[in-house]
Amino acid sequence: MELILAVCLLTSPENCREERLTISMEETAPMQCMIGAQTIIAEWSQTHPKWKVARWRCGVPGREGFRI
């Protein structure tokens, strides 16, 4: 599974991008992704202090062709 984040610059909220984070091996169930996402998002936010996570979702790597 991967965690797909829509992140925006704090100083320029209209400047957003998509980040994709692999969270585990492919056998991870969507519910496990949803449960573990908060911790992963918090860790990502701490290492990227200029960015704010606006939205997020879980997806299957390579199958999510549309943007968040």
Query: pLDDT tens digits for the chain (68 residues)?
Result: 889 999 999 999 999 999 999 876 555 677 888 888 999 999 999 999 999 999 999 988 776 555 65
pTM to 2 decimal places: 0.79
pLDDT score for 15? 96
- Residue 29, judged by CB atoms within 10 A of its CB (0-12, 13-18, 19+), counts as exposed
* Other beta carbons within 10 Å of 44: 17
